[in-house]
Amino acid sequence: MSAHRTVEVLAGPIGLRVTRRAVVVNSALLILIGALLVGALVLGRSGLGFDDLLALMRGEGSRKQELVFSWRAPRALASVLFGACLGISGAMFQAITRNALGSPDVIGINSGAYTGVIVVLMAGGSGYAATAAGAVVGCTLAALTVFVLAYRQGMAGFRLIVVGIAVSAVLTSVNHWFSVRADLDEALQAAIWGAGSLGGITWTPLVATLCAVALMLPVLPVIAHRMRELELGDDVAAAQGVDVERTKLLMVLVGVFSTAIVTAVAGPIAFIALAAPQIARRLCRAPSLSLTGSALVGAVVLAASDLIAQYLLAGARPPVGVVTVTVGGLYLIWLLLRESAR
């Protein structure tokens, strides 16, 4: 039986096509995510042993074990959840643009979040709520600006990328100017936030992010179904009854929302959204992007990057964003070389 045999599941108007290879790959990714979560709990001098984890599951853990778990579990779960959100966001933008470079990193959304945080800090704001609000507002305004400037009787993917790169460059210049004009403490806070870090994640922002993700989940199957039709071309999708421009707008909104809820808590974690959808597509050998595969690969990449930052680079202890930028930069070089060779 072929590894690419397709099984189709229908749920009302929504069709789900799954290949055997995709099932195998996604199952392997889920197992790997579980291993990374366990590794995040057991590694290090203060790590929990497997016996300790079993004791905690039975409610028999010591006070010290409960404290270690409360420190480590939110960060481990956040790495998986945030990576999945970024993978989904990247898949949506790449589907809209039909380009592997179409991601929140490239089209200015992360730069807009950074601008929002710097403005909040310079205005005297501090704490999680203020920076989160600044990041969300900055993300939203940057995305709205790109969308308005790129819209010309429809939204062409190449135009969206070009406009996004231009807006990103402008916002980066503004961020540098703000950093120079800001007080030293404000500039330092902005720089730390801008590196993208999972350190200091607690249950409160994690639960808030989970609630936000729960609001987004009902529309994902609809978007996944329409993404496959959009990849056939706008004219073909319209002939099949898809409202192309409304669908693209919905995908932009959900993609921005997915990025904003991560950026508000952890800062701009670069290149996960860029790399995860394409890695998932190549692993599954699929002709189109998959939200499920992109989410799982994003979770694996961010969780693995966080473990690398904590233990393989333990002497420096860099923010996880530094690791993802390094890995993503190598991926981007490979992608550009591959595309130029065609």
Predicted local distance difference test score (pLDDT) of residue 78:
93
Report how far residue 269's alpha carbon sits from residue 26's, in angstroms, rounded to the nearest whole number.
Answer: 23
The pLDDT of residue 316 is 64
DSSP 8-state assignment for residue 311: I
Q: What is the pLDDT of residue 181?
A: 75
pLDDT attached to residue 35: 93
Measured distance CA(223)–CA(226) in Å, rounded: 5
Residues of the chain with pLDDT under 70: 1-18, 46-50, 52, 58, 60-61, 126, 153-157, 314-316, 335-336, 339-342
> Which residues 6+ apart lie within 8 Å of 202 measured at CB?
74
The tokens of 183 are what?
Answer: 């007080």
Q: Domains in the chain, start-ordered, CATH in brackets?
A: 6-340 (1.10.3470.10)
Q: How confident is the model at residue 31, as a pLDDT?
A: 96
Residue 205's alpha-carbon distances to 116, 134, 166, 184, 218, in angstroms, are 19, 15, 32, 27, 22
Q: What digits encode the pLDDT tens for the residues 148-166?
A: 888 776 666 677 778 888 8
Query: In 3D, which of 225, 331, 194, 228 has the Cα closest to residue 274?
Result: 331
Residue type, 277: P
Give the chain's end-to-end CA distance (angstroms, integer): 32
Residue 182 CB neighbour total at 10 angstroms: 17
